[in-house]
Amino acid sequence: MAERIDGKAFAATLRAKVGEHAAQFAAQAGRPAGLAVVLVGEDPASQVYVRSKHKATVEAGMASFEHRLPADTDEATLLALVAQLNADPAVDGILVQLPLPAGIDEQAVIAAISPDKDVDGFHVINAGRLSVGQPGFVPCTPLGCLMLLKDRLGDLSGLEAVVIGRSNIVGKPMAQLLTDANATVTIAHSRTRDLPAVVRRADIVVAAVGRPEMITGDWIKPGACVIDVGINRVSAPDSDKSRLVGDVEFDSAEKVAGSITPVPGGVGPMTIAVLLRNALVAAYRNQGLDVPAGL
């Protein structure tokens, strides 16, 4: 039976560490680190995410700047706000909550954010920095997954890893992080031939495909570490209620894997914790201060 990886507990430890260093930063810089979050429209899920990010930012001792714009905001207005935040010395990190309403080019908005304030790690310059091994910002979810893996497995050198999914937000940066950690990495996707056989040879499985419970226990190599990035809401059997499940069928995978993240309570809590970490790293860099070791 697999050991459950407690992402919630790990995230709480990381957030506490961020809070300690945020206090040290404020003492050195004479101001708190600042994170600006921009929400356009009234998407219910996005509103929940923005509220939780605001609460976590304040709890970490950082300044939270919320900008809520109506759904009919045009692209030029949003780009003007991004330019204003780029120029604001009190703002160290900028996050524009996705998805954006129809009619606004998400890539144009991401490209307008200063790469040094792009704490989501979505800017093409930060993607390039990751690719060539330069300091930059890495998307929060894959960086959180890497932290969980290193905490569980230690040195990842020589391990075979399969990342299922090739998105710019999770799959591709996850594969790059694992490569940089000296794992042997395969990116699998919907066109992969005999996907179960590919997954079955992996010591590390990162599932980020967005299909509920697609990966079953018979796909998993005995003793493998399984990181389930998926968050899918499905109807509960014989009930009008819904439940959250991952991309991995937990019950069958748990019987085979050596360790596994549950959904919820696994990868999810890490995303906001790493966002706070990225924002604080941005603050140290923007202020010309050395980033504390271990942050």
In-domain check, residue 286? no
pLDDT of residue 97: 95
Residues labelled as active-site residues: 53, 97, 120
How much of the chain exceeds pLDDT 90, in percent? 92
158 with 100, same domain: the answer is: no
State which amino acid sits at residue 22: A
pLDDT digits (tens, 9 = 90+) for 170-193: 999 999 999 999 999 999 998 999
Going by pLDDT thresholds of 50, 70 and 90, the confidence category of residue 237 is confident
160 with 68, same domain: the answer is: no
Say how many C-beta atoms besides its own lie within 10 A of residue 239's C-beta: 8
In-domain check, residue 5? no
Residue at a domain's end among 114, 129, 161: 114
Give the range among 46-55, 165-174, 237-246 with minimum mean pLDDT: 237-246
pLDDT of residue 128: 97
In-domain check, residue 105? yes
265 with 145, same domain: the answer is: yes
What's the mean pLDDT in 19-45? 96
What's the mean pLDDT in 216-220? 98
Q: What is the CATH number of the domain that holds 51?
A: 3.40.50.10860
Q: What is the CATH number of the domain that holds 153?
A: 3.40.50.720
253 with 210, same domain: the answer is: yes
What's the mean pLDDT in 69-83? 97
pLDDT of residue 235: 82
Domain limits for position 157: 140-269
pLDDT of residue 236: 73
What's the mean pLDDT in 21-37? 98
In-domain check, residue 289? no
What's the mean pLDDT in 278-285? 98
153 with 245, same domain: the answer is: yes
Residue 155: pLDDT over 80? yes
pLDDT digits (tens, 9 = 90+) for 119-131: 999 999 999 999 9
154 with 249, same domain: the answer is: yes
65 with 146, same domain: the answer is: no
pTM: 0.95
Token readout for 85 is: 């935040």
76 with 157, same domain: the answer is: no
259 with 147, same domain: the answer is: yes
pLDDT of residue 146: 98
- The total domain count for the chain is 2
155 with 72, same domain: the answer is: no
In-domain check, residue 15? no
Token readout for 34 is: 């600042």
pLDDT digits (tens, 9 = 90+) for 245-276: 999 999 999 999 999 999 999 999 999 999 99
154 with 59, same domain: the answer is: no
In-domain check, residue 10? no
In-domain check, residue 68? yes
3 state SS for the chain: CCEECCHHHHHHHHHHHHHHHHHHHHHHHCCCCEEEEEEECCCHHHHHHHHHHHHHHHHCCCEEEEEEECCCCCHHHHHHHHHHHHHCCCCCEEEECCCCCCCCCHHHHHHHCCCCCECCCCCHHHHHHHHHCCCCCCCHHHHHHHHHHHHHHCCCCCCEEEEECCCCCCHHHHHHHHHHCCCEEEEECCCCCCHHHHHHCCCEEEECCCCCCCECHHHCCCCCEEEECCCEEEECCCCCCEEEECCECHHHHHCCCCEECCCCCCCHHHHHHHHHHHHHHHHHHHCCCCCCCCC
Task: Give the Cα separation of 69 and 96 in Å (integer).
Answer: 11
Taking each helix axis from N to C end, the angle separating 7-29 and 140-153, rounded to the nearest 10 degrees, works out to 110
149 with 253, same domain: the answer is: yes
Nearest to 143 by CA among 272, 3, 286: 272
* CB burial of residue 20 (10 Å; 0-12, 13-18, 19+): middle
In-domain check, residue 196? yes
Cis, peptide link before residue 99, omega less than 30° from 0: yes
